[in-house]
Amino acid sequence: MDDLKAFQYVSTYRIVQEIAQGGMGKVYLADQLGVAGYTKTVGIKTIRAELVNSGVFRDLFIAEAKLVADLIHENIQQVYQLIDMGGSFAIVMEWVHGITFEDINARLDERNAYLPPELAVFLASRVARALHYAHEKRDRTGDLLNVVHRDVSPVNVFASWQGVVKLADFGIAKTLDISGPDERKQIMGKVPYMSPEQARGDGTDRRTDLFALGLVLFEMLTGEQLYPTDDLREVMAMHKNKPIPSPREWNPAIPAEVEPFLRKLLEYDLEKRYQTGKEVVKDLEVFMYGGGYGPTNEKLAAYLHELFPEVDKNRLLPEEVIKPQ
């Protein structure tokens, strides 16, 4: 170790364009600048000053950012750096050159069309891979990190123009929903995608994420939210009383074999629900590839290129960026 020198590396970033603004802050497309003209395209998420002013939130946010930085997986949007901006914080993250499932669903709605079932299952299987990896992630001493996303929803599921699926905002939702009571109303998760235990304010674990994945898969298959309301009490009532309809009521082309996976993801009883992401991945991939050839990144990319023909997939700016909501 004597031949290694410690050094401090301070990155310089150039903001290119504001991409989105939400309750937590803003997201920018940016360049990371280095020596000799080096640049790397990144995303930067800034945090609202009033959230940072909460000491509890600040400490938890920093701890979560450190934790999430070690989540390195093909299907997870990677966090590169946490920046202290002198009174506020920003996260530097992987820039996913693509679109969210929310964008995909909006375009399909415009066309009065459905996402092909095999691609819906493919997308869900990649999110399940990401969740399994995160749920099983351990620190350097071998201890389980207990990472739970808590905000799996269409706006956090990206697909690059190369057909790579990415789950975004890992750890952020977990930090936010255990901050102060005022913040909790805004950021404990998106109400239509909450699990029963999350809506009740009970403890959450990996199975909470799997329920949310089931809700996203239902929407991928049908184009409709299963619980289309932001009223928490209404969602809690529907959790208890609303039977899970067959997605084939919307799209008869959906194979009947998909329905058992969906129902097990959406099981109200935690013990009857899928227990791990690994179980979900296995069932979905046996369905997709049991007969041999199945959907691939390339097939998803080709579909996205057809769905968004107006977008120049080789350029980022200016008009080619499809802004996430």
C-beta of residue 183 within 8 angstroms of C-beta of residue 176: yes
Q: How far apart are CA 40 and CA 212, in angstroms?
A: 33
Q: How far apart are CA 90 and CA 48, in angstroms?
A: 9
Please tell me which residue in 151, 169, 177, 283 is annotated as part of the active site: 151
Sheet containing 79-84, strands listed edge to edge, beginning at the edge strand earlier in sequence: 12-21, 26-33, 39-46, 89-94, 79-84
CA distance 127 to 181: 30
What string of DSSP letters covers 27-94?
Answer: EEEEEEE-GGG-EEEEEEEE--HHHHT-HHHHHHHHHHHHHHTT---TTBPPEEEEEE-SSSEEEEEE
Only one residue has tokens 């082309």, namely 253
Assign 144 to helix, strand or coil.
strand
Q: How far apart are CA 121 and CA 307, in angstroms?
A: 18
CA distances from 95 to 40, 183, 285 (A): 9, 27, 27
Nearest to 148 by CA among 229, 202, 102: 202
Displacement of CA 174 from its chain's centroid (Å)? 13
Contacts of 200 (CB under 8 A, 6+ apart): 236
Has 59 been annotated as catalytic?
no
Residues paired with 46 in a beta bridge? 90
Residue that is written with structure tokens 């050094």 in the block = 7
Give the position of tokens 């970033």.
13
Active site residues: 151
